[in-house]
Structure 1
Amino acid sequence: MSLFIRRPTLLCWLCQSRAFSASYRRLVEQVAKSNPKPPVNAPKVVPPSPLTDAPRSYGKRVEEFTPTPLSRPIGLPYPPQVGQNTEKNKISRPYFRDWGNLQFHKGKTFIAPPRLFKGDLSLFFPNLYGRTLLKTDKEPRDTTPVLRGRVSVVSVFSSLWAENQCNSFVSKESNPAVEQIIAGSGDRAQHVRVNIEEDPLKAFLVRLWIGKLRQQLGERNYERYFLVRKGVSDEVRENIGLLNSKVGYTYLLDPDCRIRWAGSGPSEDHEREGLVKGLQWLLLDGNPDTKK
Structure 2
Amino acid sequence: MWKSSIPAYQMLEPALFQTNRCLSCQFRSTRTLSNLRSIRHYATTDSTKKPSDASNAEFKISPRPQREAQPLRRSVPFQQNPAPIPKPSSKPGDADFVPPVLSRPIGAAAPPQVGENTGVDARTIKERRDDFVDYDKHIARRKELTRLVAKPYFREWSNLQYHKGKTFISNPRIFRADKALYFPNLSGITLASPKDRQDTTAIFRGKVSVVNLFCSLWGEEQTTTFTGNFSGEDRNPALKELLAKNSKYAQRVDLNLEENRMKAWLVRRFLGGVRKKFPVEQHPRYFLIEKGFDESLKEAVGMVNKFVGYVYLVDADCRIRWAGSGPAHPDEVEAMHTALEKLIAEQKAAVELESSTRR
Cα distance in structure 2, aligned partners of 1:258 and 1:140: 23
1:278 aligns with 2:339: yes
Q: How far has the Cα of 1:71 moved from its partner?
A: 0.8
Match of 1:125 in 2: 183
Q: How far has the Cα of 1:100 moved from its partner?
A: 3.4
- Counterpart residue identity of residue 99, structure 2: P
SS of the residue corresponding to residue 346 of structure 2 reads coil
Among candidates 134, 141, 146, match of residue 203 of structure 2 = 146
Cα distance in structure 2, aligned partners of 1:53 and 1:82: 38
- Counterpart residue identity of residue 171, structure 2: P
Structure holding more helix per residue: 2
Identity among equivalent pairs (%):
43
1:232 aligns with 2:293: yes
Task: Name the TM-score, length of structure 2 as normaliser.
Answer: 0.59
Cα distance in structure 1, aligned partners of 2:297 and 2:325: 16
Match of 1:161 in 2: 218
| Equivalent pair of 2:165/2:305 in contact (CA under 8 Å) | no
SS of the residue corresponding to residue 210 of structure 2 reads strand
Cα distance in structure 2, aligned partners of 1:117 and 1:277: 13
1:107 aligns with 2:162: no
Cα distance in structure 1, aligned partners of 2:273 and 2:266: 12
| 1:20-75 alpha-carbon deviations (Å, 9 max, x no partner) | xxxxxxxxxxxxxxxxxxxxxxxxxxxxxxx98544xxxxx745421111011111
CA 1:134–1:127: 2 relative to 1, 3 Å: same
- Counterpart residue identity of residue 334, structure 2: E
| Equivalent pair of 2:159/2:165 in contact (CA under 8 Å) | no
SS of the residue corresponding to residue 165 of structure 2 reads coil
Cα distance in structure 2, aligned partners of 1:183 and 1:52: 43
| 1:214-256 alpha-carbon deviations (Å, 9 max, x no partner) | 1211221111011111111121111110110110000001100
Q: Between Structure 1 and Structure 2, how many residues are aligned?
A: 229
| Equivalent pair of 2:90/2:96 in contact (CA under 8 Å) | no
| Equivalent pair of 1:103/1:243 in contact (CA under 8 Å) | no
- Counterpart residue identity of residue 222, structure 2: Q
CA 1:282–1:72: 2 relative to 1, 3 Å: same
Cα distance in structure 1, aligned partners of 2:265 and 2:329: 33
| Matches for 1:231-270 after TM superposition, within 5 Å | 231-270=292-331
- Counterpart residue identity of residue 110, structure 1: F
- Counterpart residue identity of residue 71, structure 1: S
Match of 2:52 in 1: none
Q: How far has the Cα of 1:153 moved from its partner?
A: 0.3
Cα distance in structure 1, aligned partners of 2:89 and 2:293: 20
| Equivalent pair of 1:155/1:248 in contact (CA under 8 Å) | yes
Among candidates 48, 71, 75, match of residue 107 of structure 2 = 75
Q: Which runs of 5+ in 1 are unaligned?
A: 1-50, 56-60, 287-292
SS of the residue corresponding to residue 155 of structure 1 reads strand
1:134 aligns with 2:192: yes
